[in-house]
């Protein structure tokens, strides 16, 4: 019970929803065996293809089986979700690994609890790529040097992986001019010639390809065929005060990831329930892979790239970020 109470105390200063969640957790405490307790858990996610497993797992009842009553809150991105998790408004969140490394380097303690998604590892068939418009003279990664490239967030996982791929191909990534554009604005900017190339992820990869754009660099797959892009994480405080909840969440999450991997058609079908992706696009897009193990080498690699590109000043404590 003290564990529950400490959560309630931590949440007391927060938004009403978080306070309600903590009360809900406490109410069911007397139901008997530990298996029948239900915790109200809120997870901050981004409404994109990558998080299909958690929606699927919720639908399949994997979280219920672990005594978790799941609420999914959508946020704009890591920058919105991380504060939510750090403040206890969300117990868990979804973010790309580079954002978590940036948080770690600023002494914001976060711990990964489950993998989010990974590259397919196949150059030519991944869920994210740099595309150039029809008729462009950009044909390979090195050609991106000196060009204007749209990314959804500057100085994050998109630019560090593109830089690596360009560097590996013999180009000078420091000459790339990155422009920050939202993914939905990229197809327009690309066809107008406002940018020379754009880094897109699904479903925008399928959409731009439909407009005649060609992928020229597979920045995730070519960086590392097993690159883990994103992860589910929690605050260090939650990890320490309620390891049991974290373990149950991780179990349910792993089950969900496995289920999504085994049933890609169901993963495609559930997209329409939380995104605007229509059925036809959902059919065509390339899904990421959903491994069930956190890939520690990926975290190290992305940290090295962040260091090399000057996003962080010193080697982050990777160990502290891993479960």
| Residues near other proteins, by CB under 8 A | 77-79, 82-83, 86-87, 99, 102-103, 105-108, 153-156, 177-182, 184-185, 188-189, 192, 194-195, 311
Range list of H helices, the chain? 2-12, 16-27, 52-60, 62-65, 78-87, 97-105, 157-168, 186-192, 204-210, 219-223, 236-241, 243-262, 264-274, 279-284, 296-308, 318-321
Q: How far is the CB of 236 from other proteins (least distance, A)?
A: 11
When the beta carbons of 83 and 323 are compared against other proteins, the nearer one is 83
When the beta carbons of 98 and 250 are compared against other proteins, the nearer one is 98
Q: How far is the CB of 110 from other proteins (least distance, A)?
A: 10
Q: How far is the CB of 201 from other proteins (least distance, A)?
A: 18
Decide: 53 and 267 in contact? Cβ < 8 Å: yes
When the beta carbons of 102 and 213 are compared against other proteins, the nearer one is 102
Decide: 232 and 92 in contact? Cβ < 8 Å: yes
Q: How far is the CB of 104 from other proteins (least distance, A)?
A: 9
When the beta carbons of 235 and 289 are compared against other proteins, the nearer one is 235
Q: How many Å apart are CA 264 and CA 249, to the nearest integer?
A: 22
Say what angle helices 296-308 and 157-168 make with each other, to 10 degrees. 80
When the beta carbons of 130 and 267 are compared against other proteins, the nearer one is 130
Query: How many CB atoms are located within 10 Å of the residue 36 CB?
Result: 10
CA dihedral 120, 73, 114, 238 (to 10 degrees): 160
Q: How many Å apart are CA 260 and CA 304, to the nearest integer?
A: 30
Q: What is the DSSP letter of 287?
A: P
Q: How far is the CB of 53 from other proteins (least distance, A)?
A: 25
Give the N- to C-terminal CA distance of the chain in Å, as an integer: 24
Q: How far is the CB of 102 from other proteins (least distance, A)?
A: 5
When the beta carbons of 150 and 252 are compared against other proteins, the nearer one is 150
When the beta carbons of 44 and 78 are compared against other proteins, the nearer one is 78
Selection from 133, 143, 135, 127 nearest residue 188 by Cα? 133
Q: How far is the CB of 68 from other proteins (least distance, A)?
A: 26
């Amino acid at each position: 019970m003290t564990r529950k109470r400490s959560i309630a105390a931590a949440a007391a200063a927060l938004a009403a929803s978080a306070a309600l969640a903590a009360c809900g957790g406490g109410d069911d405490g007397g139901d008997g065996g530990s298996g029948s307790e239900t915790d109200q858990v809120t997870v901050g996610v981004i409404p994109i293809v990558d998080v299909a497993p958690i929606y699927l797992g919720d639908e399949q009842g994997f979280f219920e089986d672990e005594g978790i009553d799941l609420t999914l809150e959508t946020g704009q991105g890591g920058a919105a979700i991380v504060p939510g998790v750090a403040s206890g408004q969300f117990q868990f969140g979804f973010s790309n690994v580079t954002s978590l490394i940036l948080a770690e380097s600023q002494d914001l303690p976060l711990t990964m609890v489950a993998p989010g998604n990974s590259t397919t590892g196949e150059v030519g068939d991944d869920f994210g790529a740099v595309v150039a418009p029809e008729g462009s003279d950009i044909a390979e990664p090195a050609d991106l040097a000196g060009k204007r490239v749209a990314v959804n967030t500057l100085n994050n996982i998109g630019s560090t992986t593109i830089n690596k791929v360009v560097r590996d191909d013999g180009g000078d990534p420091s000459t790339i001019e990155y422009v920050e554009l939202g993914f939905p604005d990229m197809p327009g900017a690309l066809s107008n010639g406002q940018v020379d190339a754009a880094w897109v992820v699904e479903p925008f990869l399928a959409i731009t390809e439909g407009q005649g754009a060609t992928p020229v660099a597979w920045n995730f797959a070519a960086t590392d065929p097993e690159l883990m892009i994103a992860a589910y994480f929690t605050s260090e405080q939650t990890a320490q005060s309620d390891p049991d909840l974290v373990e149950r969440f991780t179990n349910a999450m792993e089950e969900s990831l496995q289920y999504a991997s085994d049933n890609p058609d169901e993963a495609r079908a559930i997209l329409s329930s939380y995104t605007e992706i229509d059925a036809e696009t959902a059919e065509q897009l390339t899904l990421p892979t959903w491994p069930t193990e956190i890939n520690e080498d990926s975290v190290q690699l992305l940290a090295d790239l962040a260091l090399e590109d000057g996003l962080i000043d010193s080697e982050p404590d990777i160990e502290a970020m891993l479960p």
